[in-house]
Amino acid sequence: MRLVLVGPPGAGKGTQAQFIAEHLSVPKISTGDIFRANVGQGTELGLLAKSYMDRGDLVPDDVTIDMVRNRLAEGDAAEGFLLDGFPRTVPQAQVLDDMLAEAGVKLDVVLELVVENDEVIRRLSGRRTCRTCNHIWHVEFDPPAEEGVCDLDGGELYQRDDDKPETIANRLEVYDKDTAPLVNYYAERGLLVGIDATGPVDDVTVRAIDALRPLQHGDDKRADDDGADKRSD
């Protein structure tokens, strides 16, 4: 199966991507992993990307696209993959379509993790990071024994700027601006399946696997289970 995972920051994409990829026996391919691998290995693209990052600039689309193209050409992705973090925009989605067409394949499904903005802010703004070991706690879901103190090493816990409500709200605005057209693009092509991504991690994984199961068995119909995003209709 070839699928793309989309969802707002705080939707749990990284966690679900790992579980879903393992269930489907396909590689999880994230832009973060690709960047780290290329920079770590000192590839030509990695060095180019690092030159932008060292200046504090965004890595241009064409560099990211070339990295994704190279990763999809590796042997483990020949029979399927799960893409997390790419595409993020309609132009990137169109480039991905062209990449796959050149290889004689196409996407099977785009799985959207649907979470309300209020829930995203609740999840992310509750995170606290240890200044010493960088372990992340959560004031509601995984609190330390003593407020403000890391259980692991006694380090001070603090709220990163990225986890402050005003910053999260801005990230969500950017996501809605850039990704809402992407979701509509895939919905119009009949590729989008949405699931409710609230609740315990295991429950979300079960919903995802249930939504994908008909496609694994060769049924081209999009999932229509309870909780599916009706934008996929």
Active site residues: 13, 88, 127, 160, 171
Rounded-to-integer distance, Cα 48 and Cα 68, Å:
15
- Give the ranges where the chain is alpha helix by DSSP (H): 13-24, 31-41, 44-54, 61-72, 90-102, 117-125, 165-188, 201-216
Extract the tokens encoding 48.
Answer: 């180019």
The Cβ of residue 207 has, within 10 Å, a number of other Cβ atoms equal to 22
Extract the tokens encoding 218.
Answer: 């060769």
Rounded-to-integer distance, Cα 80 and Cα 66, Å:
19
Extract the tokens encoding 131.
Answer: 């200044």
Q: How far is CA 132 from the centre of its chain?
A: 27
> Using the 8-state DSSP alphabet, how is residue 96 labeled?
H
Alpha-carbon distances of 119 from 96, 103, 116, 164, rounded to whole Å: 31, 39, 5, 14
Q: Which of 151, 144, 152, 138 is nearest to 201 (CA)?
A: 138
User: Can you say whether the dihedral through the CA atoms of 34, 39, 42, 44 is positive or negative?
Assistant: positive
